[in-house]
Amino acid sequence: MTRTIAGVMLGLCLTGCTTLRISSRDHLTESGSSLMTSLSPDEASRGLVEQFGKRGYPLLDRRQVSGAETVLKFKGSRATITHVSRGSGGTAVVGSVFYARIATGSGQSRIALLGKPTLNGDEVCSDWDADRSLTVDPCESRIFSVDPSRNEMTGREEAEVIQGVTVELEVNGTAMRPPGPYLVSEVGTPQHASAPAAPQGPCVRRLGETNAAALERCSGG
């Protein structure tokens, strides 16, 4: 039945709908998706395996992408959804996949994290998939914007998992997050709202001021 729904979605999308492109980076900044630690790569890997594992995302793969970089892949399911429409329906399994790149240098390890939704085991693609040192495998998913499970695949759930992992590792002294902001919603937002500007009267030429100087001052030049 799940494949039947996928076929219906494909038929609908032949008319022009788009594939989903979603990840945790839609909600977390680079700082919110990163950690610095003095642990060795193996020790950092064990810490991540523990953190993601207890959240329901066991280690699926480990790749050495270069002499100083390792990528861990975690994957698990989080919801089973049943859809019924016009007397027919089906079941879909929504989950998450996470990538953790551990790069070493200058006595420290830098960890970059990325999370993406999955549908029936297939990964949703994202704008970060072009970074082969992070996602490792090319993304060829065809999960469409009209899929009935769309509301369960926003990237927010993955962002919350990553935020929990980074905060817990920071609190227990294992790693440190770089300076914020950590949420995309915080970027460019002032900490304090500024008071409204006082009303301005007409700009007039001062005593002894030339017309050219007054024009430049009044026009903000």
pLDDT tens digits, 60-91 = 999 998 888 999 999 999 988 887 766 677 88
Please report whether residue 90 resides in a domain: yes
Counting residues of the chain whose pLDDT is more than 70, the rounded percentage is: 74
Please report whether residue 66 resides in a domain: yes
Please report whether residue 81 resides in a domain: yes
Of residues 63 and 2, more confidence is placed in 63
Please report whether residue 79 resides in a domain: yes
Domain count, the chain: 1
Distance from C-alpha of 164 to C-alpha of 44, rounded to nearest angstrom = 16
Q: pLDDT at residue 119 above 70?
A: yes
pLDDT value, residue 188 = 56
pLDDT value, residue 28 = 95
pLDDT value, residue 112 = 96
Please report whether residue 221 resides in a domain: no
* Helix residue ranges per DSSP H, the chain: 2-13, 41-53, 132-135, 156-171, 211-218
Boundaries of domain holding 46: 2-186
Region 110-131: mean pLDDT is 90
Please report whether residue 155 resides in a domain: yes
Distance from C-alpha of 143 to C-alpha of 213, rounded to nearest angstrom = 62
Please report whether residue 200 resides in a domain: no
192 pLDDT band, cuts 50/70/90, is very low
Q: pLDDT at residue 20 above 80?
A: yes
Which residues have a Cβ under 8 Å from the Cβ of 198 and sit 6 or more positions away? none
Mean pLDDT over the full length of the chain: 80
* DSSP 3-state of 176: strand
pLDDT value, residue 151 = 83
Please report whether residue 88 resides in a domain: yes
